[in-house]
Amino acid sequence: MKEKRRLNYWKNEYIGRILVTFCGLLIVITTLSIIAFICGKGIQSFTENGISLKEMLFSTEWKPSDSHPKYGAVIFIVGSMLVSIGAVLLSTPIAIALAIFMNFISPKFGSAVLKPVLELLVGIPSVVYGWLGVTLLIPLLREWFGGVGFSLLAGIIVLSIMILPTITSIASDALSGVPFSYLEASYGLGSTRWQAISRVIVPAARTGILTGIVLGLARAFGEALAVQMVIGNTVKLPSGLYSPTATLTGILTMDMSNTINGTAWNNALWTLAMILLFISFFFIVLIRMIGQRGER
Amino acid sequence: MTSRVVDKVWTSIFYVIAAFVISLLIFFFVTVLSKGWGFWQPDFLFGKPSNTQAGGGVGPQLINSLYMLVITLLISVPLGLGAGIYLAEYAKQGRMLNFIRLCIETMASLPSIVVGLFGLLAFVTLTGWGYTLIGGALAITILNLPGLTRICENAILDVPSSIKEGSLALGATRWQTLVKVILPSALPQIMTGVILAAGRIFGEAAALIYTAGLTTPLLNFAADLSSKAHPLNVFRPAETLTVHIWKLNSEGIVPDAKIIAAKSAAILVIMVLLFNITARFASAALQRYFTGNRRRTTKKKMSNVA
């Protein structure tokens, strides 16, 4: 009898528990193996092809098909940085304004119209954004500024629309987390709505807003196809906003299949993937640090 | 300017920005649909693509996209649900849990191209499968698992603890409580999350270029299931609609590449719209179903009120 009860309990509790524990562990295993695989492959350009770390990180020359090949990743790192930072600079003010609108100006309209609009903006696939960039934005830029149109500026504009929902939703959460008493106290002191928002609410929510900005930056950094479609992909440092350049993700999408596995060129590309991975780690650390500072 | 005027000015600025973003979305939809007008024609939806002549369709790509979505959901929903249950119900506070959360965060912030390259190493080269649909599905599973886990965990945590305690007090084990009591009441929220995730799976492209490939073999339902020509064989290269748009843009040599890309974009946008609307209705309907307020009772209530 006791045996049977134990068996029943085992059946009713442990099988399920083991299964879900396995699912939890699977996440850990997958994450670790991604890191191991990418780093294992990315490090080969240093160990097997003798490319120096200094050249990779500080040289602006990327000439993998030359007779004296050069593998400097600076152009791609700088290109990725400029395009993401530009997108964040363009997107953040609009995102914060939207978050304020949804929480304080017109919450009803915000939740009935703006929220679904932002959800749809998130849902639009990145290739469609890229396609919109190529068919709408590029001709427009060409008309205004002349030239080819494919440029850093085009990348920034496309990306800023893509990361707008990310920043907005996190900033909105942060703003709605500010205690209502703050607003009341501010009104009680005779401030207008704008004064209360700009001097009390937004400063009180700045940690959350900052987290949103960093997440937006991380998303912009990792975005591949939409940027690759509009940025021009010329391997040189941009001379200005309206000049084409290349990004880490762009060069990876284009060149990985053109190179033969095991060659120095191919290994150098894997190193670029590893750099991309490390940069995304950096953003996680940054977000954690902001979160900890906010708790204090 | 008095502070009241400043307040008025800023309020109107907020209205202008909100209106701008809304009109931007409307503008996008109108542009995509007008440029891709005619995307519903059967010749295009189900036709074979042509590499050299105008007038080809996107039949195989559409099949691939939908099939990829189904396979990915079959893999990722159970895994995400399991991991969510583990985190919400079984994991003990401490170092291990912290580490798992760090892993989820890491996974969630991985650039999709990096996941695609991992897929190239793990599911294409290491397994020796080559570019396959299942490899693509596994890569998108990695991309979506953190999000799904979080959705499931939050849905389970949102179930009132009194319900759970009631079940435990009646002598049910934790697992029985979970399956028979907690999951049903968490289901509406989980469903909404899954449908929204489905939209994202449908739109993913970067992770698929190096896992599911840029080609599709000629599909033929009459072929053997193990042959690469059978549409349901998961071990075949499968270019999806999103990848197709990208490919047309970067290396398309078909004379009507632009129109095909526009029409494909229109299909994608319509699908996104459908997923969003379905998610809304599904969550409302399931909520009604599980809280016992089926239509008849609501009607009665309404008439009582009236």
pLDDT digits (tens, 9 = 90+) for B270-287: 988 888 888 888 878 877
Residues of chain B in contact with residue A120, where contact means CB-CB under 8 angstroms, are 25, 272-273, 276
Tens of pLDDT, residues A197-244: 999 999 999 899 999 999 999 999 988 888 988 888 888 888 888 888
Residue B304 pLDDT > 60: no
pLDDT of residue A295: 65
Of A13, A94, A281, the CB nearest to B174: A13
B232 interfacial to chain A (CB closer than 8 Å): no
Tens of pLDDT, residues B231-241: 778 888 888 88
Are B114 and A280 a contacting pair at CB < 8 A?
yes
pLDDT of residue B47: 77
Q: In chain A, what percentage of residues exceed pLDDT 90?
A: 37
A229 interfacial to chain B (CB closer than 8 Å): yes
Structure tokens at A243: 């000049």
Structure tokens at B81: 């649900």
- Which whole number is the average pLDDT over B166-187? 88
Cα-trace Rg, chain A:
24
Q: In chain B, what percentage of residues exceed pLDDT 70?
A: 92
pLDDT tier, B1 (very low <50, low <70, confident <90, very high otherwise): low
Structure tokens at B269: 């946008």
Residue B37 pLDDT > 70: yes
Residue A169 pLDDT > 60: yes
Tens of pLDDT, residues A69-96: 888 888 889 999 999 999 999 999 999 9
Name the residue among A230, A47, A202 with its Cα closest to residue A129: A230
User: C-alpha A295: how far from its chain's center?
Assistant: 24
Q: How many CB pairs under 8 A join A and B?
A: 248
Tens of pLDDT, residues B70-82: 999 999 999 999 9
Compute the distance between CA of residue A147 and CA of residue A139 in angstroms, rounded to an integer.
10
- Which whole number is the average pLDDT over B114-122? 91
Specify whether the CB–CB gap between A73 and A56 falls below 8 A.
yes
pLDDT of residue B305: 44
Query: Could you tell me the residue ranges of all domains in chain B?
Result: 1-35, 59-295
- Which whole number is the average pLDDT over B129-151? 91
Q: Which residue has the higher pLDDT, A261 or A100?
A: A100
3-state secondary structure of B110: coil
CATH topology of domain B59-295: MetI-like fold (1.10.3720)
Are B14 and A225 a contacting pair at CB < 8 A?
no
Complete DSSP assignment for B160-221: -HHHHHHHHHTT--HHHHIIIIIHHHHHHHHHHHHHHHHHHHHH--TTTTTTT-S--PPP-T
pLDDT of residue B233: 81
